[in-house]
Amino acid sequence: MRRTDTNQSIEVRAERLEGAPVGERRRWSEDFKDRAITASLEPGTNVSALARSLDIAPS
């Protein structure tokens, strides 16, 4: 059986809260931290999924 590999890239990006820093060293604004904590306290929130959507390590 012959296998043909095709290089395909799919970019998936979760929405980020406005004010989330971009770059290697992150300095979170107080406003961003307040909104992230408020979002995490919503009933039924999956905190790991929320972290990934904010580009924060889910661990």
Interval 1-19 mean pLDDT: 62
Cβ of 44: how many Cβ atoms within 10 Å?
4
The set of residues, in sequence order, having a beta carbon less than 8 Å from that of 40 and lying 6+ positions away, is: 47, 50
Number of residues in the chain: 59
- Alpha helices by DSSP H, the chain: 30-40, 47-53
pTM listed for this prediction: 0.52
Q: Is the pLDDT of residue 1 over 60?
A: no
Q: Is the pLDDT of residue 37 over 60?
A: yes
The confidence score (pLDDT) of residue 48 equals: 92
The confidence score (pLDDT) of residue 28 equals: 83
56 exposure class (CB count in 10 Å sphere: 0-12, 13-18, 19+):
middle
